[in-house]
Amino acid sequence: MKDQGIVQSPNTHISVKISSSIKHEIWKPFFKLIAKVKLPYLWIILSIISALGQTKLSLLFPQYTQKITSGDISRPTIIIAAAVVLGQAMLTSISQFIGRIASSKVSLSFRKFIWKQLVHLSIPFYDKNMPKEMISRTTNDTTKLSDFFAFSIANVLSSIYQLLYTNLLDLL
């Protein structure tokens, strides 16, 4: 017997059992869509790098705070601690800026792709489906996808980095 999961439709209270082979088939079109849409990989990578840099700076600050609280109030320690705080603030702003650019470019790529698909559909399709709903789905779904690619991936990777870094320091 194959592994089965239960999926509940977001708009109804109907639960449907889905086999593992169907689960595989659900992801296949998604990855094909990602392959067809021209994503701004450079901006996504820059977003990830800036998030990792921001995490690295946030991990440096406690070390200098510890030095200051233990009594090391030397000029270099204070200057480096202040530079870390200012650098973190600047990198946070840069990271948000890059993330917004990446998000906008991802959203634009998906909307262009969807628009090309919608233009080639037959008239009966538009008779069956409400245009208002299609517009809403296009804008909301592309916004969610763009935020995923621009922010969520970077946040997950920086959280993993932070988790590994702090746990490795505890082991040493």
What was the pLDDT predicted at 27? Answer: 82
CA angle, 124 then 127 then 130, to 5°: 135
What was the pLDDT predicted at 128? Answer: 87
pLDDT: which is higher, 144 or 130? 144
Indicate the SS3 state at residue 165.
helix
The span from the CA of 128 to the CA of 151, in Å, is 35
pLDDT: which is higher, 117 or 26? 117
The span from the CA of 46 to the CA of 36, in Å, is 21
What was the pLDDT predicted at 10? Answer: 52
Query: Which residue in 93, 63, 92, 84 sits closest to 158, CA to CA?
Result: 92
What predicted TM-score, i.e. pTM, was given to this entire model? 0.74
What was the pLDDT predicted at 146? Answer: 92
**97-115 pLDDT tens trace:** 999 999 999 999 999 999 8
State which amino acid sits at residue 102: A
Residue 158: exposure state from Cβ atoms within 10 A (0-12, 13-18, ≥19): buried
Answer yes or no: is pLDDT of 15 > 60: no
Mean pLDDT of 144-152: 92
Which residues 6+ apart lie within 8 Å of 57 measured at CB? Answer: 84, 87, 88, 91
Chain centroid, CA 3 distance in Å: 29
The span from the CA of 126 to the CA of 128, in Å, is 5
